[in-house]
A and B are shown apart, each in its own frame.
Chain A
Amino acid sequence: MAQITLKNLGKMFPPDVVAVADVNLTIGDGEFFVLLGPSGCGKSTTLRMIAGLEEATSGDILVDGRRVNDDDPADRDLAIVFQNYALYPHMTVAENLAFGLKLRKVAPTEITSRTAATSRMLGIEPLLKRKPRELSGGQQQRVALGRALVRQPKAFLFDEPLSNLDAKLRATMRTELIKLHQSLGATIVHVTHDQVEAMTMGQRICIMKDGHVVQVGPPMEVYRNPADTFVAGFLASPPMNLLDARVVDHAGGLAVALGEARLAVPGAFNGAYGAWRDRDVVFGIRPEDMHDGAGPGGRTPLDVRVVAVEALGPEVVLVAALADGREIHARLGPGFVAPIGSQQRLHLDLGAMHLFDRETRKAIAQRGTG
């Protein structure tokens, strides 16, 4: 198992596509690390540079402190699972598993025992004699995983391996990969554009955008303290509500001016937000921090018009419009009902609010002198 360090890593495709720009990361030994970002943000390119399939145009890649930039992919001893599996079509499942071991001159008896153990663990024993084209998507996925596992490499690189599976199988495989990581204690770099995958699987997640790292941290920490509006709007579904607003004086303290509405800022934030008085900001609040009842107190009312009520079973997502027509999402209890077009009063938990600089889109610290 290994630690992977990326220093000022960059990749430019001629003539001028900057796929990855100045990425600095340290992936700990035995860590389940997730690279998350929208399609085209440079996740795969980053992973392929680690694997040695793309040459870095700048920066260093270190495995256990040793620079591997110039090493052949074969010598890096990493395993990759591709999105479309890339199983060798002319070999049986057993041959696919054994291929890497044979190339590395592992003794035949050990190849047999390792192949057997891996296929038992993944439940693919009955498939060993089949060719990849005779397997379902889920089975191919397992074989691809097996081909990586059987090699016992220094680290595993997963490039969206679950994205071609149907929703149910994807959920099962998420759990299996988490279990697998726990039992092996392996270093895993998992690339995905699916924020649920990132939140549930990653010990730490790294959110990328346009080739840059935007934020790194444990999922819940990133969730609670998004570094900018991009992260805030990317995690969770529905994501954080983001509304252009201003900070104004209000009743001896501060308030967020949202059209005609004034949302009084909790006193604890006054110090930090004071500097933003009369300036343009983005107001952020998560759907679950809005309620349909006043609760035990301390909540701030906001009047909205009901646009749609989406009953999901365990919860209801209310799509509502502010007085000026801007839409927000709120997650309410399963009992919530309201006619479309009716007026409703939501109660906001402003202790969980966020403010972002309208220009730089970066989060404004809630405490301290920000």
Chain B
Amino acid sequence: MGGAVRWRGLLAHGVAALFCAAILLPLLWLVRVALTDKLTAYKLPPEWVTPRLHNFVEIFTDYPFLTYFINSVVVAAGSTAVALPLAAMMAYAFARYDTGGLPLRLFVLSSQMLPPVILVLPLFALFLWAQLLNTWFALIIAHLTISLPFLSWLLVAFFQGDVRLLEQAARIDGATRFQAFLKVTLPVTAPGLLSAGLLAFILSWNEFLFVLILSGPQTNTLPVGLSAFQTQRGVELALLSAATLVAIAPVFVLLPFMRRYLIKGLSLGALK
């Protein structure tokens, strides 16, 4: 019996190890290539040279990588800053007052089911008319079409949980609806709101299609900017790797926080 359990454990670990390898190997490869020079980057089987950081310097000095980075930060932070409070209000209305009932909720969700490419052309036409193409503002609005419905759907669950009873306790204690929201609901659901915000940030950070169509060289964000590394002098593999690593670094920094808050948010642990 003990043997069977051990075998099953080994099997589970084996599968997990394979899974990790599938995810990690490309990343490790990326790190290796980013630390080599332009020529060795192409060599197969891989050749080991003294790791050097010059690629990381070059992307900032010889390419507009810093501009892309700043664009990404502004657009991701901007769209999140707008989406989070709006989505929280919408989700609260859904959860507490059943505003619009199921039809409205499904309508909000259905906007997520459209392929983004269907949205991008009308948006292009609108921004062209409003002379907003190639601005941060346009990108922030475009990314809101993704994050706002997604977040408002996600946050409904946070407001429907145990916090509802806490809000009622506060109302009995003498709080108005708004006071109960401000002093009880908001602090209690803060971890959930924060993790949802991080999620929105990452969504915007990684978005490609809208940026490709709606922005130009001055406002390109990282995903589109990175694709430029492939076209100037063939594929600059080493530079591209270094740029990719810098581009995904914030996601890696944010993910652990998001995981922690998301779990905390989902199990408020308020009542037992």
Instruction: Verify that A and B bind, or say they do not.
Output: yes
Determine the residue in chain A with the shortest Cβ distance to B186.
Answer: A90
Contact A103 B174 (CB under 8 A): yes
Instruction: Check: A32 CB closer than 8 A to any chain B CB.
Output: no
Q: Which of B49-57, B107-115, B263-271 lies at the interface with chain A?
A: B263-271
> Is B176 in contact with chain A by the CB < 8 A criterion?
yes
Q: Quick one: CB contact mask for B171-208 with A, threshold 8 Å, 1 for yes?
A: 11111100100011001100000000000000000000
Which A residues touch B175, using CB under 8 A? 74, 103
* Docked-complex contact A99 and B173, CB < 8 angstroms: yes
B174 contact set on A, CB distance < 8 A: 74, 100, 103-104, 151
Is B272 an interface residue when CB atoms closer than 8 A count as contact?
yes
In the complex the two chains form, what is the Cα distance from A73 to B179 in whole Å? 13
Contact A80 B169 (CB under 8 A): yes
Which of A81-89, A199-207, A258-266, A295-303 sits within the interface? A81-89
Closest chain A CB from B236 CB (angstroms): 51
Q: How far is the CA of A227 from the CA of B183 in the complex (A)?
A: 48
Task: Give the size of the chain A interface in residues (CB under 8 angstroms).
Answer: 27
A133 at the interface (CB under 8 A from B): yes
Q: Which of B37-75 contact A (CB under 8 A)?
A: none
C-alpha gap A78/B169 in the complex (Å): 11
| Smallest CB separation, B96 vs chain A (Å) | 13
Contact with B166, one of A73, A78, A88, A140 (Cβ below 8 angstroms): A88
Are B172's CB and A73's CB within 8 A? yes
A337 at the interface (CB under 8 A from B): no
Determine the chain B residues whose CB is within 8 A of the CB of A99 once the complex forms.
Answer: 170, 173, 183
- Knowing A84-B271, A86-B165, A89-B268, say if A53 contacts B184 (CB, 8 Å): no
Whether the pair B188, A53 counts as a contact (CB closer than 8 A) is no
> When the two chains form their complex, are residues B172 and A79 in contact, meaning their CB atoms are under 8 A apart?
yes
The number of chain B residues with a CB under 8 A from chain A is 22
B residues neighboring A (CB under 8 Å): 162, 165-166, 168-176, 179, 183-184, 187-188, 268-272
Chain A residues lying within 8 Å of B271, measured Cβ to Cβ, are 84-86
Chain A, residue nearest B168 (CB): A53
B270–A132 touching, CB < 8 Å: yes
Contact of B172 among A74, A84, A88 (CB under 8 A): A74
Q: Is the interface of B mostly helix, strand, loop or mixed?
A: helix
Chain A residue with Cβ nearest B174: A103
Contact indicator A86/B168 (Cβ below 8 Å): yes
Q: Which residue of B lies closest to A157 (CB)?
A: B172
A149 within 8 A of B: no
* Chain A residues proximal to chain B, CB less than 8 Å: 51-53, 72-74, 78-80, 82, 84-90, 99-100, 103-104, 132-133, 137, 140, 147, 151
Assembled-state Cα–Cα distance A191/B65 (Å): 67
Q: Which B residues touch A132, using CB under 8 A?
A: 270
Contact A82 B176 (CB under 8 A): no
Asked if A86 meets B268 with Cβ closer than 8 Å, knowing A74-B174, A74-B175, A103-B179, the reply is: no
Q: Are A80 and B172 within 8 A (Cβ)?
A: yes
Considering only CB atoms, which chain A residue lies closest to B163 in the complex?
A89
Taking CB atoms, residues of chain A closer than 8 Å to B272 are: 84, 137, 140
Residue contact A103 to B173, C-beta cutoff 8 Å = yes
Q: Are B169 and A88 in contact, with the CB atoms below 8 A?
A: yes
Closest 6 CB pairs of A and B: A100-B173, A89-B270, A103-B174, A86-B169, A73-B171, A90-B187
Q: How far, in angstroms, from A72 to B166 measured CA to CA in the complex?
A: 16
The answer on a CB contact under 8 Å between B270 and A82 is: no
A53 and B172 within 8 A (CB): yes
Contacts A80-B169, A86-B162 known; 15 new A-B pairs at CB < 8 A:
A53-B171, A53-B172, A72-B176, A74-B176, A86-B168, A87-B270, A88-B184, A89-B166, A89-B188, A90-B188, A103-B174, A104-B174, A132-B270, A137-B272, A140-B272
Q: Contact check: which of B165, B171, B269 meets A133 at CB < 8 Å?
A: B269
Query: Are the C-beta atoms of B165 and A151 separated by less than 8 Å?
Result: no
A147 touches B173 (CB 8 A): yes
Q: Complex formed: what's the CA distance from A84 to B268 in Å? A: 14
Most buried by B among A86, A88, A99, A132: A86
Q: Please give the distance in Å from A38's CB to the nearest CB on chain B.
A: 22
Closest Cβ neighbor of B171 among chain A residues: A73
Q: B169: which A residues are within 8 A, CB to CB? A: 80, 82, 86, 88
A78 to B173, CA, bound (A): 8
- Smallest CB-CB separation from B173: which chain A residue? A100
